[in-house]
Structure 1
Amino acid sequence: MSKAPKIKYIKHKNIDSAKWNACIDRAQNCRIYAYDWHLDRTAIVWDALVYGDYEYVMPLPYRKKLGIRYLYQPIYSQQLGIFPAPSATLHKVFIDKVQQHFWYSDVQFNSQNMPIEDEQVACTERYNYLLPLNQDFKAIIGGYSKHTKRNISKSQRNDLNIIEGIRLEEYLAFKTKNLPPGTANDAIEKLKSLIAFGEYKGFGKVYGVYTTANELCAAVYFCRWKNRIIYFNAATNDTGKELRAMYYLLNRFIEDNSGKNLFLDFEGSMIPGVARFFSGFGARPERYFQLKFNRLPGPLKWLKK
């Protein structure tokens, strides 16, 4: 009898890029965050678990602290995990293998990777928001909340102007001025690399909203991957908030893409106010799980609390 394929731990330098990307590409649970070109720009340092001849793969983005390697979720990478979605048995084998190589893990799996029953692993529900665009615009508007409709009406009285495909440099300068507190120091450089690649390959574009004085007040980087258009990164300033510019932009974007066999993927969020904003456009939650374990020796557990 032939032996069943084994899960191998493969160092980053030894990963077969073509086979890796082909596995992600054909997976039903394909996510843009799992391609090697994305991980190379966000995680920078990552290894992998590979089953058989790249039949299943799992990226392992890690950092080091006091010489101890630990898994973490890279910026601009909402969902990782195992690709394609494995059986419950194989899923458990992957987790066991992860625990052989790492003492600590805090990562987010994709929506088709189910939680496991393991007292050493904490599985916490998280939510993404998806809006189907396959209906006509009138039907989609019917799913808007009253609050959203009211804010769209207010925005339409402000003589705003949308430009499709604004310059990357303008967006990054605007983003830098309006960064949320606690943003990592290298976040803008990583974002620049991702958007530049997306624009070069033709699957990403930045939309900007301008005031009557021709000042940028809100902007979003959208990228299309397979059947998802991802609301990948956004920025607004106080003027944009006052003018409801993001409501204006999203409503127009939904109108332009209605009737297509696509989902608008809002990428979250677990922040109640942001979740209400997304759900106000009729988007519905997509559940995925954060998997966390801490098997560090007693004196070191406090390092990752």
Structure 2
Amino acid sequence: MIRRLKYHEVDFQKYTKCLENSVQKNWYARKEVLDELSGNWEVLVYEDYKAVLPVPLKKKFGINFVIMPLFCQQLGVFSEKDDVVINDYFLRFLKKNYIVFLYSFNQHNSFSEGLSIKKNYTIPVSDYVILRRKKYFKGRKSTAKCAQHLIYREIELNQEHLSFIEKHFKGLKKETDIKKFKDYLNFLHHNKSLKLCAAYLDDKLINVAVVVDENTQLSLLALINDENYKTENGPSFLIDRILNIYIHQKKFNFMGSNIRGIEVFFKSFGAELRAYPYLQSKILEKLS
């Protein structure tokens, strides 16, 4: 019923068609994106590509295990209709045939078994004026208004801007992770899927929002701030301006956070909770 296909065995025409016709389709499951972020992955297939589940792998000490690649938020089951029964088949197969450290399904996947969930926040295509008036938190309206002295620009990926990102990006301590992030930025740029939205104080660059630009969605990959200018409220200014320009045609995905302060920041723009299930080993649960 479910087949495990190595990378070279996958019919990527059928795989891509399944993704494009699925109700769960997302950026992360695309072949070119997984090639970039994982490099080592295979696919579980139900019947003749009626449903698929991409499986990213990492090898250590000669053992392959499943773990979500850096910068990859959700994978899971992709099919024309989300089916609990089919999803359960995939879940059981995954548990039985792999060593799973961490695997995130997507927000549309439902299971008969209760799984842990992670939080994600999105804003659907909206009228900006109504969104700001009715759904922004009062404090966020005020903060965004107070930051209108800043200048908004969409900038190119060049060495100057890359240096700003490297200097101020927090959360990536390993050199290999920093390199992976830069490689991913170049990949996005090459595929015309990168948008760098910047806030300037006069001629000084103080904030950059790194955004993945898809056909129908913008996704916030990183919000990078020069902490010397924290009182200028650049992050609020940037998100508000991006929504002003684009929310009438593209939904906005904040990419989630379980950190309370960041979660409240996302919600304050009227973002809605879109939780997604995940499977994690007991070892990782203790370490996290």
- What TM-score, normalized by structure 1, do the two folds share? 0.85
Q: Which residue is equivalent to 1:276?
A: 264
Q: Give the alignment of 1:32-181 within 5 angstroms.
A: 32-84=27-79, 86-117=82-113, 123-135=115-127, 137-142=128-133, 143-156=135-148, 159-181=149-171
Match for 1:236 among 201, 221, 225?
Answer: 225
| 3-state DSSP of counterpart to 2:119 | strand
1:228-272 Cα shifts (integer Å, max 9, x gaps):
211122211213422111111111111112433x31111101111
1:200-254 Cα shifts (integer Å, max 9, x gaps):
3333321111221x22211112223242211122211213422111111111111
Q: Is the CA contact (8 Å cut-off) linking 1:116 and 1:123 kept in structure 2?
A: no
CA distance in 2 between counterparts of 1:302 and 1:225 reads 32
Q: Is the CA contact (8 Å cut-off) linking 2:19 and 2:78 kept in structure 1?
A: yes
Q: Which residue is equivalent to 2:212?
A: 223
Report the alpha carbon displacement of residue 182 of structure 1 after superposing the two structures with TM.
4.8
Report the alpha carbon displacement of residue 304 of structure 1 after superposing the two structures with TM.
8.0
Report the alpha carbon displacement of residue 63 of structure 1 after superposing the two structures with TM.
1.7
**Structure 1: which 4+ aligned runs deviate by more than 4 Å?**
301-305
Q: Is the CA contact (8 Å cut-off) linking 1:129 and 1:268 kept in structure 2?
A: yes
CA distance in 2 between counterparts of 1:17 and 1:190 reads 25
CA distance in 2 between counterparts of 1:198 and 1:173 reads 17
Aligned positions, number:
285
The worse-fitting range, judged by mean Cα deviation, of 169-178 and 138-147 is 169-178
CA distance in 2 between counterparts of 1:254 and 1:211 reads 20
Report the alpha carbon displacement of residue 148 of structure 1 after superposing the two structures with TM.
0.8
Q: Is the CA contact (8 Å cut-off) linking 2:36 and 2:187 kept in structure 1?
A: no
Q: Any gaps of 5 or more consecutive residues in structure 2?
A: none
CA distance in 2 between counterparts of 1:43 and 1:168 reads 25
Q: Aligned-pair RMSD on alpha carbons?
A: 2.3
Q: Is the CA contact (8 Å cut-off) linking 1:130 and 1:263 kept in structure 2?
A: yes
Which of the pair has more CA radius of gyration?
1
Report the alpha carbon displacement of residue 167 of structure 1 after superposing the two structures with TM.
2.4
CA distance in 2 between counterparts of 1:180 and 1:116 reads 38
Q: Any gaps of 5 or more consecutive residues in structure 1?
A: 1-5, 295-300
Q: Which residue is equivalent to 2:188?
A: 198
Q: 1:183 to 1:48 in 2, by over 3 A?
A: farther
